[in-house]
Amino acid sequence: MKQPVFLTILFAGLFSMVSVTVSGQENNRTTFDRNEFWVKRNAFITSEIGLTSDEAVKFIPVENEYKQKQFESGRDCRRLTQENQNKKNMTNAEYLKMIDCYLENRMKEVQLEKEYFEKFKKILSPAKLCKYQQADAKFMREYVIVRRPSENRNNNNNRNTDRNNSNNRSR
């Protein structure tokens, strides 16, 4: 039971990272193409899971609906976070409001996930449903890395190298 909750948190986090990455890009980068994103994502999911054409015709529209509802459920929290992002002196009440929004959103997402996974069970075998969870997380990881500006990728690589070097010194 812990795994679906973890995956929900992972999906929400990755989805919000894609939103932040896309909105924070510099003007010299291409803009986010929502249609291209969904075409690539659906092709990736179909391939990774090994969906038959019949399964894909049934599953992909339901799964896209689920992802759209998941995205919409976090809209208020994303808006609240953006409003407070540049505030220097937030009050405890503002922090608590953000925390409450986050927790309420997580509860909504878990309920939404439960509702849609019941629908998914009617379309996919349990093995393919597990593959779907893994493929979805894998796509988001890979897509976020590709979309991230190159200097951020280099900074992350430097941090990982520094971390590895400090781990080696402590041994």
**Confidence at residue 139, expressed as pLDDT on a 0 to 100 scale:** 93
User: What pLDDT shows up at residue 150?
Assistant: 55
CA pair distance 154, 157, nearest whole angstrom:
5
- Non-local (6+) Cβ contacts of 59 within 8 A are 51, 120, 123, 124
Residue 106 has pLDDT above 80, yes or no: yes
Residue type, 107: M
Average pLDDT value over all residues in the chain? 78
Which pair of structure tokens corresponds to residue 44?
């990736």
Dihedral sign (CA 105, 140, 126, 56): positive
pLDDT of 145: 79
Q: What is the pLDDT of residues 28-55, one digit of tens each?
A: 456 778 889 899 999 999 999 999 999 9
Question: How many C-beta neighbours within 10 Å does residue 131 have?
Answer: 17
Helix and strand totals (H; E) in the chain: 7, 0
pLDDT over threshold 80, residue 18 = no
